[in-house]
């Protein structure tokens, strides 16, 4: 669900955010489905920070911010409507602060996001299994948080709508997944009624450019362990550069390429309980923080099938893993 956050939040805010809720086992980003009537829910803690950012293409530090750090706690869930149709949600609480300067810290519940994840194709090939996923997502702010306060604002307070296509190939215990996501973002209302981007606007409405994201992940995937490396490249389709020594603005062009690793481990002794963790580093960007992040959390599966009340470990993994 890391990417969903990225879409709706300001990327500079997000460049510190976007590692915080990295991949869980059943997320909108991976090629895994919950079986029908299973509900996976969990909590994730994330922390990320940066002390350098890109002002346009210029990588700089800001002694009046020092290190910007972001902590988050997210509630997540994934319900199997059918074996090949899941719905997912995520809602984070976020707090941001700067180590230097006098700017006040921020915190609050950010946006709720939800996805419908559909797997129309799953095919056993001569070698391995191929599957295709189509996803539609939306997000909306849960609280009336401050927007015009970058890089410390917790989000953009904008409604978003996303579409994603995802392809997965698994051979024995090894897999590769690629996806592309397109997100449109509704206008956001900032607290002032005039602002300058590359020209003056006399309104509190700010148009946010759409975002396109490519995600590639590969690694080991079995019933009890997932270990993967992730490459993500996100670009706003439009927006402007932060001018020299200016503050960032929600409609900046914000691009980021990040590398990360994710782990998920099913605890053998407790059916349905899994631990997740990982890390993430922004390696290249434009008008975003060069952030490093870590996360960890746990998930638990509740079984709502009528005939079978006990939690079933075997049902926690992908249908194509068999």
Interface residues with another protein (CB under 8 A) are 63-64, 81-82, 85, 87, 100-105, 116, 136, 138, 144-146, 148-149, 159-161, 184-187, 190-196, 199-203, 205-207, 243-247
Nearest to 118 by CA among 87, 89, 90, 79: 87
Burial 40-57 (b: 16+ CB within 10 A, else e): bbbebbbbbbbbebbbee
Min dist. Cβ of residue 90 to another protein (A) = 16
List C-alpha distances in Å: 154 to 23, 95, 99, 102, 234.
20, 7, 16, 18, 19
Question: Least separation, in Å, of the C-beta of 143 and another protein?
Answer: 9
The least CB distance from residue 25 to another protein, in Å, is 22
Shortest Cβ 82–another protein spacing (Å): 8
Nearer to another protein, 138 or 167 (CB): 138
Q: What's the min distance (Å) between Cβ of 10 and another protein?
A: 15
Instruction: Rank residues 149 and 175 by Cβ distance to another protein and give the closer one.
Output: 149
- For 99, phi then psi, to 5°, come to -85, -20
- Measured distance CA(110)–CA(143) in Å, rounded: 6
- Nearest approach in angstroms of CB 78 to another protein is 14
Task: Determine contact, residues 50/11, Cβ cutoff 8 Å.
Answer: no
Nearest to 211 by CA among 179, 250, 181, 178: 181
**Nearest residue (CB) to another protein, 58 versus 222:** 58
Closer of 101 and 124 to another protein (Cβ): 101
Among 27, 39, 58, 31, which residue's Cα sits nearest to residue 288? 58
Query: By C-alpha distance, which of 255, 251, 3 is closest to 147?
Result: 251
The distance of closest approach from Cβ of residue 123 to another protein in the complex, given in angstroms and rounded to an integer, is 22
Q: Between 22 and 35, whose beta carbon lies closer to another protein?
A: 35
Please check whether residue 225 is in contact with residue 277, taking contact to mean a CB–CB distance below 8 angstroms.
no
DSSP state for residue 252 in the 8-state scheme = B
Is residue 271 a contact partner of residue 312, using CB atoms and an 8 Å limit? yes
CB of 6 to another protein, least distance (A): 18
In the complex with another protein, the residue whose CB is nearer, 92 or 209, is 209
Instruction: Rank residues 64 and 172 by Cβ distance to another protein and give the closer one.
Output: 64
245 versus 268: smaller Cβ distance to another protein: 245
Nearer to another protein, 152 or 166 (CB): 152
Q: Distance between CA 139 and CA 159 in Å, rounded?
A: 6
To another protein, the closest distance from the beta carbon of 77 in angstroms equals 15
HEC readout, 126-186: CCCEEEEEEEEEEEEECCCCCCCCCCCCCCCCCCEEEEEEEEEEEECCEEEEEEEEEEEEC
For the beta carbon of residue 79, count every other beta carbon within 10 angstroms: 19
């Amino acid at each position: 669900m890391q990417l969903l956050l990225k879409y709706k939040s300001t990327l500079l805010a997000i460049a510190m955010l976007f590692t915080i809720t990295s991949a869980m086992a059943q997320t909108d980003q991976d090629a895994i489905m919950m079986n029908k009537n299973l509900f996976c829910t969990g909590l994730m803690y994330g922390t990320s920070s940066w002390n350098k950012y890109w002002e346009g293409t210029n990588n700089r530090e800001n002694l009046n911010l020092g290190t910007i750090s972001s902590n988050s706690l997210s509630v997540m869930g994934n319900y199997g409507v059918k074996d090949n149709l899941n719905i997912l949600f995520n809602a984070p609480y976020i707090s941001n602060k700067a180590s230097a300067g006098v700017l006040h810290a921020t915190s609050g519940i950010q946006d709720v996001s939800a996805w419908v994840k559909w797997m129309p194709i799953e095919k056993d090939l001569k070698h391995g299994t191929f599957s295709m996923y189509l996803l539609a997502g939306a997000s909306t702010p849960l609280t009336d948080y401050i927007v015009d306060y970058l890089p410390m604002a917790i989000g953009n307070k904008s409604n978003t709508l996303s579409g994603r296509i995802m392809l997965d190939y698994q051979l024995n215990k090894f897999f590769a997944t690629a996806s592309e996501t397109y997100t449109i973002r509704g206008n956001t209302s900032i607290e002032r009624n005039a602002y300058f981007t590359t020209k003056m606007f006399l309104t509190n409405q700010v148009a946010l450019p759409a975002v396109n994201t490519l995600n590639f992940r590969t690694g080991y995937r079995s019933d009890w362990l997932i270990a993967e490396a992730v490459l993500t490249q996100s670009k706003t389709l439009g927006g402007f550069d932060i001018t020299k020594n200016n503050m960032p603005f929600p409609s900046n062009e914000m691009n980021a390429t990040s590398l990360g690793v994710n782990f998920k481990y099913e605890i053998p002794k407790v059916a349905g309980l899994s631990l997740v963790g990982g890390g993430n580093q922004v390696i290249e960007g434009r008008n975003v923080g060069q952030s490093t992040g870590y996360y960890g959390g746990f998930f638990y599966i509740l079984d709502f099938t009528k005939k079978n009340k006990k939690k079933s470990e075997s049902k926690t993994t992908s249908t194509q893993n068999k």
